[in-house]
Amino acid sequence: MLHEEFFTGASFDAHAYFGAHPAAGGGFQFRVFAPGARSVEVIGEWNAWEGEAMTRDTAGIWSAVCPTAEAGQLYKFRVAQPDGRVLDKADPYAFSSEMRPQTASRLVGTSEFRFTDGEWIRKRSLGYDEPVSIYELHLGSWRRTPDGDFLTYEELAELLPAYLRENHFTHAELLPVMEHPLDASWGYQLSGYFSVTSRYGTPDGLRKLVNALHEAGIGVIFDFVPAHFVGNDYALANFDGTQLYEYPASDVTYSEWGSCNFNFYRGEVRSFLQSSAAYWIGEFHADGLRVDAVPNVLYWQGQPERGVNIGAVDFLKKMNAGLKRLFGNVLLIAEDSSNFPKVTAPVEYGGLGFDYKWDMGWMHDTLDFLSQPFEARRGQYHKITFSMDYFYRELYVLALSHDENVHGKKTILDKLYGSYEEKFAQCRALYAYMFTHPGKKLNFMGNELGHFREWDEGRELDWELLRYPAHDSFRALFRELGRLYRESPALSQKEYDAACFRWMTTGVGEKENAGVYAYRRTAGGQSLVTVLNFTPESHEGLLLGCEERVVLREILNTDDFRWGGCGTVNAAPLSSFPIPCRGSPASVRIRLAPFSAAVFTLEKSPVSEETKAWAIAGRKMMTV
């Protein structure tokens, strides 16, 4: 029975009952939960915004049928609150809304759109042994019309799928497409948890965009915000004159952003949020949800020192388990910077039930290291190696997200220390490191262009940057790294098996703070070696420790002329020889430009005479 499930927090389909739905005899059926209200009326365009009374049941659910209401018309609920105030409220379960700054809900009829992605849905997976490269974007500022207006969902469907394919992304992650009043919140302070934002069109328009992405082989992840909601008086806050959705205790009513915290101890709130999550997956065929601000759910006010929010933890477990039960292989990703244990363990094994979590430690340590003056990095060598010390505790996504491109933090490229040319060289090496490091990948739009300007939601990306060789060649490298990642089994298969990764020694002296790093990844019958030089020094004849009788063949070097480098590459196959290197029985000599990365295949097969000749010639060339 819906009522029982709704009040106990077990419902995942409350939106099928509440809100506004076409009535069997014509018009619309309205239902809203407002137990504290003295009275509730439906007001809308069909009745000239004059109230039609709703009937209350014993559980506090108000209902009415309006036979003259039609799809497309605007409406609200006029709520008489216990203190005598009367407020016009948007429908918490509305499926569409008026364009901001107006705030009315809009009636939506039965969808006429039919998805054609059945085969995609049947075959989608969680990507544990597959490449997952996510393009995070804000639909309103990726591209705009020549006049500066938003593109519609349909117009985006014509452009976005091909762009993602040519740049080798596997998924698009959309910043919230749920309704919100303030553009500058980017959708992270929501007013409509079931309402497709009208900025870009209609619910069917969004369906067309998702379907087009699926037809292009691109998965779709929606941002989902269960931690807090906008405090505007037309929305959920103080909805029926009581704190129906938010906590009543004053010290936890409001979040650090000034929004209201959801009360996870109310069954009705749990059902509301769970149903919202299920709605976006079910109605729009989303392949997953990225859950925002998870530490603010796990801990009171997001502060571990205030203690774990037990009710919120229970909510996450039950929501995640329920979504898996309903939809199977949908990706559930936590934006979580905390040390809360077992975030990505299944609920039945005591975990929260997420499939992945963002590796905020990797992001912070890497960007902090590369923003330091070159001489200061020598004492921080292990900031680059530390990520692998904890990597196998959870299932991670390496994320260089929108949060790293705004609010005075500078863009990824501009964070890096050094001159204009040094920034580009280091950024090329950074992305080679990212795409060859274990973990799934996420990049915010513009990262692939070498964007210099911080992201501004009010304008499109600086696409004109591609007229400049430095940016155009950088995008070409980014694209090549995406291709290498997707086509190399060693970079995705068995990445959570510790036996498939190992650090390698380098012969730059006995000190390990020289700023050169090397590691090997092996899976799917392939071994790849990545060597990074995060120093301003070049290395000719650098010793790389390895086993006897191996050959390295360079398949990518960020200093290649093609990517805007100076051309210091390893063109010939490189054969090992019996000179030990810091504990390794043999070595290979390679060359590395300043601020560069090189990726090699490693083969253990016997070395042919031709390869020996190439290797000898290569070593002679490097010693000249």
287 is catalytic: no
DSSP run (H or E) holding 442: strand 440-444
Which of helix, strand or coil describes residue 492?
Answer: coil
Contacts of 163 (CB under 8 A, 6+ apart): none
Q: Cα dihedral sign for 226, 404, 356, 302? A: negative
Q: Which residues of 154-173 are buried (b: 16+ CB within 10 A; e: fewer)?
A: bbbbeebbebbeebbbbbbb
List 91, 335, 404, 448, catalytic entry: 335
Q: What is the 3-state secondary structure (H, E, C) of 102-155?
A: CCCEECCCCCCCCCCCHHHHHHCCCCCCCCCEEEEECHHHHCECCCCCECCHHH
575: Cα separation from own chain's centroid:
41
* Count of CB atoms situated within 10 Å of the CB of 184: 10
Crossing angle for the helix pair 153-166 and 203-215, nearest 10 degrees? 20
490: nearest Cα among 62, 224, 129: 129
* Count of CB atoms situated within 10 Å of the CB of 548: 12
- E strand map for 547-623: 551-557, 574-575, 586-592, 596-603
Q: Are 519 and 532 in contact (CB under 8 A)?
A: no
92: nearest Cα among 310, 240, 225: 240
For the record, the structure tokens of 184 come out as 């500058």
List 292, 355, 359, 495, catalytic entry: 292
335 is catalytic: yes
What's the CA gap between 514 and 517, in Å, rounded?
9
Q: Which residues of 487-501 are buried (b: 16+ CB within 10 A; e: fewer)?
A: ebbbbbbbbbeeebb
DSSP run (H or E) holding 502: strand 501-503
Sheet hosting strand 539-546, strand order edge to edge: 506-507, 539-546, 586-592
235: nearest Cα among 88, 387, 65: 88
Which of helix, strand or coil describes residue 609?
Answer: helix
For the record, the structure tokens of 262 come out as 């959801």
Which of helix, strand or coil describes residue 229?
Answer: strand
What's the CA gap between 608 and 216, in Å, rounded?
43
Contacts of 362 (CB under 8 A, 6+ apart): 387, 396, 398, 437, 439
What's the CA gap between 60 and 31, in Å, rounded?
10
For the annotated catalytic residues, the residue numbers are 292, 335
